[in-house]
Amino acid sequence: MAEKLQALKQQVCSSIDEAKDKLHRLGDAIWRLPELAYEERQAHDTLVRFFTQEKGWTVEAHYKLETAFRATWGPVGGADGESVVHVGFLCEYDALPAIGHACGHNLIAESGAAAAVGLKAALESGEAWPVPVKVTVLGTPAEEDGGGKVDLLREGAFEDLDVVFMAHPTQKNATYLPAVAVHSVLVKYRGRTAHASAYPWEGVNALDAAVMAYSNISVLRQQLRPEWRIHGIIKHGGVKPNIIPDYSELEYYLRTSSHLDLPNIRAKAEACFRAAAMATGCEVELLFQKNEFYEVLRNRTLEDLYEENGKALGMKFTTEGFSGSTDFGNVSHAVPGIHPYFYIGSEALNHTAEYTAASGADEAQLYTRRTAKALAMTALDVIFSPGVLDKVKQEFREAKRREERNCKSRNIENGDQHQP
C-alpha cells in the first residue's frame, strides 16, 4: 500500500505540472480582474467555466450564494458498502479595495483548483482503491469582508465533507499561523448642522463624537488582553469646516484569540461608542457585521501530514508570522481541516501594492503548484493511509469537547462577574 500511495503522490505532482498552463491562465484571469467581496462575478464565471471544461465534474454555479460555486467528482471506486471519503478544497477569489489581489486570493483559487484536478487525475490513473472517494471544490467568496464561508456553513454547504483543505499566500511556508476571531462594526453618529463660526452652539457635532469614540477606544487598549486587537478608521467626518458635521461614520475590527471572548470585547467597544454619543448629544447607530469569524481550530494530524508532504517537495516551514483572521476559522469548527500558508517568491507584505504585483507574477506559479501538490498529497494520506481519517476525526472531536468545556467555564465566569 505504501508503494501505491507513493506512486499516486507522484502522479498528483506530474498531473499538476502537466496542467500548469491552464492553471496559470485560471489564476491570472482572476488576478487581472480584481473584484470585491460578494461581487466576484467574473472570478466565479472563470472558475465555473474551468471545471465545466474539465471532464467528470458536476458543476453548480451560484451555489447558495450568487458568487459561490461547487464542483464535485464522485463518489468513485471502492467496494460496495464502504463509506465514502469526501475531501473538499476551498477557493477564495475576492480582492481588496483599491489595491486588488494584495492578499493573493487569486492564488488560493488556483491552488485549490490545482489540488482537486491533481487528486482526481491521480485517482483515475491508478488501480482500484479500497474506499469510494468524492472530491468537492467549493468556491467561497467574500473572505476579506462579510465571510462567504459562514453563509455557506449556515446553508449546509459543508455538511457531508470529511476534511477540507485550502492554503493562503504569505511570506513563508507555515502549516499554521495564529488566526484570531474577529467581528467588525460600522458606527454612525448623527447630530445637527450649524454655521461653525456664526452660531456653533446651535450645532450637534458628529465629528466630535467620532473623535471621542476613536480616543475612547485608544485608551481602552491599555486594558485589553495582549492578544486582543481593536483597530478602525473614520470613514466620514464632515463636508466643510464651516458646517458643523451632522454625520460621521467609523468602521472597527474587534479581535480576540477565541470567538468565546467576542461578546466581551464587543461590550467594551460599545461602551466607548455610546459614551461619545452621550458626551456630544449625538444619536449613535451600531451595525455589527452579520458574520463573526472564529479562530482556526487546529488539526495537528493533518498539519503534520501536510508538513511531511511539503518537505518532500522542498518546502521549509516556519511557525512565525501573520496573524489576521479568516472565515476558514468557522469552517474549522465544523469540519476538520487545515489552512496552511505558502511562500510565493516575494518578501512583500500582504495587503500592500507590492503583494498585488507578487501574487500576479510568474514566479508565484511554481510555489502555488507546489502547495497544491502538498494539499492533494495530504488528501491521499487521508484516503489511503489506514487509520488516518479516524485519527483526524478523533482529534477534531477532542478539540470540540475542550471548546465546550471552555464555553461553559466562561459562561459561569461571566455569570458571576459584572458585565463590562
Ligand X SMILES: NCCCC(=O)N[C@@H](CCCN)C(=O)O
Binding residues for ligand X, per CB under 6 A?
103, 144-145, 168, 179, 182, 184, 253, 293, 324-326
Q: How far is the CB of 284 from ligand X (least distance, A)?
A: 21
Q: How far is the CB of 90 from ligand X (least distance, A)?
A: 11
Q: How far is the CB of 322 from ligand X (least distance, A)?
A: 6
Q: Nearer Cβ to ligand X, position 176 or 189?
A: 176
Distance CA 144, CA 380 (A): 30
Q: How far is the CB of 96 from ligand X (least distance, A)?
A: 8
Which residues contact residue 280 at a Cβ distance below 8 angstroms, ignoring those fewer than 6 apart? 189, 191, 204, 205, 206, 208, 209, 212
Which residues contact residue 182 at a Cβ distance below 8 angstroms, ignoring those fewer than 6 apart? 253, 254, 255, 292, 293, 325
**Considering only CA atoms, which of 288, 195, 176 is closest in space to residue 246?**
195
> What number of residues does the chain have?
420
Q: Nearer Cβ to ligand X, position 119 or 167?
A: 167
DSSP H helices, 83-204, are: 105-125, 148-154
CA angle 332, 123, 302 (to 5 degrees): 25
Q: Nearer Cβ to ligand X, position 244 or 331?
A: 331
Q: How far is the CB of 85 from ligand X (least distance, A)?
A: 26
Q: How far is the CB of 59 from ligand X (least distance, A)?
A: 26
Contacts 24+ apart (CB under 8 A), 385-394: 385/5, 386/1, 388/301, 388/305, 389/85, 389/162, 389/163, 391/301, 392/162, 392/163, 392/299, 392/301, 392/302, 392/336, 393/162, 393/336
Q: Nearer Cβ to ligand X, position 326 or 359?
A: 326
Determine the residue with CB nearest ligand X.
324
Q: Nearer Cβ to ligand X, position 247 or 253?
A: 253
Q: How far is the CB of 208 from ligand X (least distance, A)?
A: 27
Which residue has cell 485560471? 26
- SS3 label, residue 275: helix
Q: Nearer Cβ to ligand X, position 122 or 179?
A: 179
Q: Nearer Cβ to ligand X, position 144 or 303?
A: 144
Q: Do 115 and 367 contact (CB within 8 A), yes or no?
A: no
- Pairing mode, if any, of strands 85-91 and 163-165? parallel
Q: How far is the CB of 254 from ligand X (least distance, A)?
A: 10
Distance CA 216, CA 223 (A): 12
Q: Nearer Cβ to ligand X, position 69 or 342?
A: 342
